[in-house]
Chain A
Amino acid sequence: MKVTIGIFGMTCMHCHKRVTDAISKVKGVKSVDVSLENKGATVDFDESVTNLNAIKKAVTDAGYDVGEKPILKPEPEAQHVASACPVVIKEDKEILEKPVAKHENSASTIITLKISGMTCAACAANIEKVTRKLKGVISSTVNVSVEQASITYEPSLVSQKDIEGAIKSIGYGIVKDKISFDIGGMTCAACAQNIEKVLKKIKGVESVAVNFSLAKAHVEYDSTLVSVADMISAIEGIGYTASGKVDKKESQDRERKAREDEIKKQRSNLIIAVVLGIPISLGDMANMFPNLLWFVPSFLANDRVLFVLTTIIMLFPGRQFFVGTYKGLKHGVTDMNLLIATGTGAAYVVSVAATFLDLGPGYMHTYYETAALLITFIVLGRYLEATTKGKTSEAIRKLIGLAAKTARIIVDGVEKDVPVEDVKVGDIVVMRPGEKLPVDGVVTEGMSAVDESMITGESIPVEKNPGDTVIGSTINKSGSFRFKATKVGSDTALAQIIELVENAQTSKAPIQKIADVVAGHFILAVHMIALLAFFFWFFIGFEAFGVAGSAAFAGVSPFLFSLLISITVLVISCPCAVGLATPAATMVGTGKGAENGILIKGGGPLEMAHKINTIVFDKTGTLTRGEPQLTDVISTASHTEEEVLRMASIAEKGSEHPLGEAIVRGATAHNINAPDADSFKAIAGQGVEAGFGDKRILLGTRKLMSDNGIDAIHLNASMEKMENEGKTAMLIGVDKEAIGIVAVADTLKEHSKEAVDRLYKMGIEVVMITGDNARTASAIAKQVGIDRVLAEVLPQDKANEIKKLQAEGKIVAMVGDGINDAPALTQSDVGIAMGAGTDVAMESAGIVLIKNDLLDVVASIRLSKLTMSKIKQNLFWAFGYNTIGIPLAAGILYPVYHTIIITPALAAAFMAMSSISVTTNSLLMKRSRIK
């Protein structure tokens, strides 16, 4: 019986194959003809063995819907036909038959997740299957057209995170509502912590990453539970300002202005503090060393004059610390301002009291210079920090600066200059030499060389001909051409890169968790240490170590001495250095990557890449070019190679087979312009037959020759040799004579061998994974120098192979470009996608290489190592500085030297320098070479 059934949801050849396979597997089906165009399948089956329902079930089990008649109504056009289902889930009857929940008990929760990466009905089915498999999931419904999954689950058995993890594990993405806030008023890493804390407390906020250096907060949230206004008011509630990002350029301008204002403000503060701080120090010291400082005017040594000068410093440059402390305390949060305010405030109050009140013996000395110098050094630190902080985010600014402002498009047949924002998809853009391309597109007319170095890092201009893609923000060098805009606004490659780099710079490396925990409790711990130090020196140390009788502190009161120690502890402690150690290096590292065409999607991949000890390369399209090329032409003694190639080219000219196209391309490259054949016939599994004039040309296998009575035994040795090299060799017979062989093969990319060599030298094991047979795979592996080959691996098994390697205790990176690589990229510890690859692959990977160059794999590992070493150096210095500085400030060496090694002013200078040294150390990375 022959029937035609309509099938919904097929969008690509992958779907076509899936449906064909599913129906063919039904026992009793004699033949099946699936038509993508008509959205249906004609099935011939034996009624005594099977029935229509069984066939329909096979189709629905494969993830498609069926109807009685073919559906002629066109389906919405798939965005990327090539990027079909990223993964095929093995059929699981139990799961499929698991009833979609009709009940919803009181404990269940329904979530709606936005899913990315779905292209057809099979994708939706895959997600449904994998989520239903989770214990606690009651029902799962995925709508491919609105790209949403509605899942009912029991929170006591499974969490939303588990569900999202399951979806991500099969290569799809979860789209969250995201917003970036520009934050004002942050002064140190503790402020960033405070904002994170307050936002995380809000229901509906999924994740928060506040970057102190960039003054930004990136928030992932559920818009059904929390609004942007709620988040802004929460941030403002603890004394900071926040504004949601509107436009990148505008935001950058605002940021630049804010940074300039901050630098200007701190510069003015610094000038006041220095101008007044010098006479205060001289005056105060003149009291102690009158002979040494004889030149200091006597009025400067007057306590009342010192009071006036110090009060000016406290009121102007010092006000920011007290205002900051007040704002923080009002909302129950503490930051670095509190440390400084406590230290300087105590020194100032004690000095004022000593100046105007008769406090008795031990209170003759004032500490105006301590308060003044403390503020001077801290303000110096803030000024330098404001100037260097901007440099860490230079990469983003550079990228944004690349965008063109105007475009010349054709409007009603006339060239017209318009703002780049007005360019729409489909517009024809006119380019002249030296101009910057405004948007992404495809060349329609003309040719030129385009400098793409700003995006790909490739210094040699790339030739562009009709049909080639062009990237916005690159520069047209030589010729004039026209192109059709395909991606505009936030869809352009540049906009995507900026977003990726921004997100990466905001995201946190796992190593930062230690720093965050420390920075989060730092201020509290420091105050406790200061309190304990005060108690110790007041009750024990002062008397035990004879402070009152020492030369340096003769006559000082126990309170003043203990206070001095306590202030020094407060001032020397620097949470900023700890807080800046990781983000500063991450920002410079990811920025440097972006400048070199390496996009690292956050701190996680950046940190993991330096740990990998095994790297798995997908063969086709990654190590090799991914399209066959003519490699060998062999002729018999009575014929020339040119003749052989010409005949092969004539035979294949009408062919659409990739091998045939490779032969024709190869012939053209050898300046052989073959005429069309008079007749052409493809012989399934054997080759082709063509008629040309009175000649009959056969091109194909040994069987094709023998079936046609052509003796090709004399070419057998050459055939075998080429086949052993992994090439596809084809015999050419003209009339009754075998005249030669042509061979085609997928060839290696330019830098594949060099990259593999370098990886081996770095001590990394290199593995090649491919679906090809072992012989072809080994031949390619031999050429590229890879020892370990995983051949004949089905696309869906690639992830399993990665799992097996991980089970061996290896930390695995996977390099791939195809849709079928997506699960393996996700499974690996670090997924590296080639830039010319599919969107799905790039979404699944942690690192994206814009240029299709394998040497960038090596560069990305080097970059990761470099960044991690900087992070470790920074953390070492930041922790080391505090670990050494705090005990010294607490007077640990006093019993040995009988003096305070670090004065409060010196402590302030050290504190200021610690965060500057961390930032500067990170900036030094810009000088390092990664290629």
Chain B
Amino acid sequence: MKDKTGKYSLIGSIISSLVVVGIFLGLSLFKNSGRAIPLYTNVDIMAGMLFVFILSIIVSASIWPGIVEKRLK
């Protein structure tokens, strides 16, 4: 049970963080599109994605174990 919770939580956290990172990337590309001079450089986007991933994984790693535990019960 404990192993399952940990495994599912990790998967859930990674997936949800990747989703948030995906949203960040999508929004960045969307804002840059159609501009002669892009607002965000590649460094901005890459660094932003990394930072967003770190914060998202911290948040989701705190939320997912509770959800998984409830579901498994």
Contacts and interface: CB of A to CB of B under 8 A. Distances in A.
Interface of A: 329, 332, 334, 338, 342, 346, 350, 353, 359-363, 523-524, 527-528, 530-531, 534-535, 538-539, 543, 557-559, 562-563, 566
Nearest to A543: B39
Among B39, B44, B56, chain A packs the most CB atoms within 10 A around the CB of B44
A361 B39 CA distance: 12
A558 B54 contact: no
B55 A527 contact: yes
Nearest to A350: B47
Contacts of A528: 59
B59 A527 contact: yes
B62 A334 contact: yes
Given A361-B41, A539-B31, A559-B44, A534 B65 contact: no
Given A524-B59, A531-B56, A557 B44 contact: yes
A535 B44 contact: no
B55 A363 contact: no
Contacts of B54: 342, 346
B43 interface: yes
B69 to A, nearest CB: 10
A523 B59 CA distance: 9
B51 A359 contact: no
Given A332-B65, A524-B62, A538-B48, A566 B43 contact: no
Interface in B21-51: 24, 27-28, 31, 39-41, 43-44, 47-48, 51
A563 B44 CA distance: 10
B66 to A, nearest CB: 11
Contact of B44 (A332, A353, A362, A530): A362
A559 B48 contact: yes
A360 B55 contact: no
Given A334-B62, A350-B47, A530 B41 contact: no
Given A332-B61, A524-B59, A538-B48, 10 more contacts: A329-B61, A332-B9, A338-B58, A531-B56, A539-B27, A539-B31, A543-B39, A559-B43, A559-B47, A562-B48
Contacts of B58: 334, 338, 342, 527
A350 B56 CA distance: 18
A346 to B, nearest CB: 6
* The 9 A-B residue pairs with the shortest CB-CB distance in the complex, in nearest-first order: A559-B44, A531-B55, A524-B62, A359-B43, A527-B59, A527-B58, A559-B47, A559-B48, A360-B41
A538 B51 CA distance: 12
17 contacts: A332-B6, A342-B54, A342-B55, A360-B43, A361-B41, A363-B43, A524-B62, A527-B55, A527-B59, A531-B20, A531-B52, A531-B56, A534-B55, A538-B28, A539-B28, A559-B44, A566-B55
B59 A531 contact: yes
Nearest to B54: A342
A70 to B, nearest CB: 61
Contacts of B31: 539
A364 to B, nearest CB: 12
A353 B46 CA distance: 12
Given A332-B61, A539-B27, A362 B41 contact: yes
Contacts of B20: 531
A563 B55 contact: no
B63 interface: yes
Nearest to B24: A535
Contact of B39 (A346, A360, A535, A558): A558
Contacts of B41: 359-362, 557
Nearest to A521: B62
A616 B48 CA distance: 66
Given A534-B55, A535-B24, A557-B43, A524 B65 contact: no
Contacts of A523: 62
Nearest to A363: B43
B interface SS class: helix
Contacts of A535: 24, 52
B63 A534 contact: no
A524 B28 CA distance: 25
B17 to A, nearest CB: 10
A530 B51 CA distance: 11
A448 B44 CA distance: 83
Nearest to B23: A535
B9 to A, nearest CB: 8
A363 B41 CA distance: 11
B39 A559 contact: no
A562 B58 CA distance: 18
A360 B38 CA distance: 13
Contacts of B6: 332
A283 to B, nearest CB: 24
Nearest to A539: B27
A346 B59 contact: no
B43 A530 contact: no
A81 to B, nearest CB: 54
A532 to B, nearest CB: 10
Contacts of A538: 24, 28, 44, 48
B61 A558 contact: no
A266 B54 CA distance: 28
Nearest to A530: B55
A558 B44 contact: yes
Among B28, B39, B47, B56, chain A packs the most CB atoms within 10 A around the CB of B47
B15 to A, nearest CB: 17
A883 B28 CA distance: 31
A353 B6 CA distance: 34
A549 to B, nearest CB: 13
Given A342-B58, A535-B24, A524 B48 contact: no
B54 to A, nearest CB: 7
B51 A346 contact: yes
Among A359, A538, A539, chain B packs the most CB atoms within 10 A around the CB of A538
Contacts of A543: 39
A338 B62 CA distance: 12
Nearest to B42: A360
A361 B44 CA distance: 10
Contacts of B27: 539
B6 to A, nearest CB: 8
Contacts of A530: 55
A539 B43 CA distance: 15
Contacts of B47: 350, 353, 559, 563
A332 B14 CA distance: 14
Contacts of B61: 329, 332
Contacts of A360: 41, 43
A874 B33 CA distance: 51
Among B40, B54, B62, B63, chain A packs the most CB atoms within 10 A around the CB of B62
A394 to B, nearest CB: 37
A523 B63 CA distance: 12
A329 B57 CA distance: 11
Contacts of A350: 47
Contacts of A531: 20, 52, 55-56, 59
A872 B51 CA distance: 38
Contacts of B43: 359-360, 363, 557, 559
A340 to B, nearest CB: 13
B40 A559 contact: yes
Contact of B51 (A329, A332, A363, A563): A563
A559 B62 CA distance: 25
A546 to B, nearest CB: 12
Contacts of A342: 54-55, 58
A909 to B, nearest CB: 23
Contacts of B39: 543, 558
A359 B42 CA distance: 9
A353 B51 CA distance: 14
B19 to A, nearest CB: 13
B39 to A, nearest CB: 6
A557 B27 CA distance: 17
